[in-house]
Amino acid sequence: MHLKICGITNLDDARVAVAAGADLLGFILYAKSPRYVAPATVKEIVAALRVATGAPFSNLQSPISPPRFVGVFVNTPLDQVRQTLANTCLDYAQLHGDEPPEMVAALAGRAYKAIRPTTLEDALRLAELYAPLGVETGPHLLIDAFDPMAYGGTGQRADWRAAAEVARLVPGLLLAGGLTPANVTAAIDTVRPWGVDVSSGVEIAPGRKDARAVVAFTQTARKASESQRILRSLQ
């Protein structure tokens, strides 16, 4: 089970996430988000964590350990995404807007798409389009809750039924949308995703993490994943 703590805005919260065992840390580079963080700040946080954890500055083909760093973009021009990835030393781009498949492909294994389907049929159609273009050794696709007024970070729960169908077809599915320490076990049991992504569910305020909630989320998710592994081995 891969764990992504998203909406990181400061070094202290980033350190908490890494110490709790996060595999991916997400930084929101969308100015309209209450969790927005400037690229210069992202660069400082990523550099400090790479030194502290020994994470390589360029070794994207290795498994996710030490943690990988993800920039979340919404309808950002391709050249700007490329420049930001280079300037901040982020590993991956999570494209969370209305980006076409061609843009994911143009980023050549450095990006994956977040989808916000309205129906099961929509989820399967989008997964077929975008999942093959994702990161070979990382996320292939992310599924989030649909909200007509926001691109993400709403705390609304994704459609687990649709996500479970997508997870059967997409081995690298990240499940996001309304996850918390209280419901992540049920989410993993229902969807069986490659990983889970949490932001507002471990916050005390937008952009400020609750350290106890971060630890509770990661520990609970790991236990749920191990239970799933044991059950599969007994079948």
The residues assigned a catalytic role are 6, 144
CA gap 174, 140 in Å, rounded: 8
Q: CB pairs under 8 A, 24+ apart, for 73-77?
A: 73/29, 73/30, 73/97, 73/99, 74/30, 74/32, 74/33, 74/151, 75/99, 76/29, 76/30
DSSP characters for 179-216?
--TTTHHHHHHHH--SEEEESGGGEEETTEE-HHHHHH
**Alpha carbon distance 169, 128 (integer Å):** 9
Q: Give the tokens for residue 38.
A: 């400037």
Nearest one of 123, 134, 74, 120 to 98, comparing CA atoms: 74
User: What contacts 52, CB < 8 A, 6 or more positions away?
Assistant: 15, 18
Whole-Å CA distances, 138 to 48, 71, 73, 132, 149: 22, 14, 17, 12, 29
Q: How far apart are CA 222 and CA 204, in angstroms?
A: 22
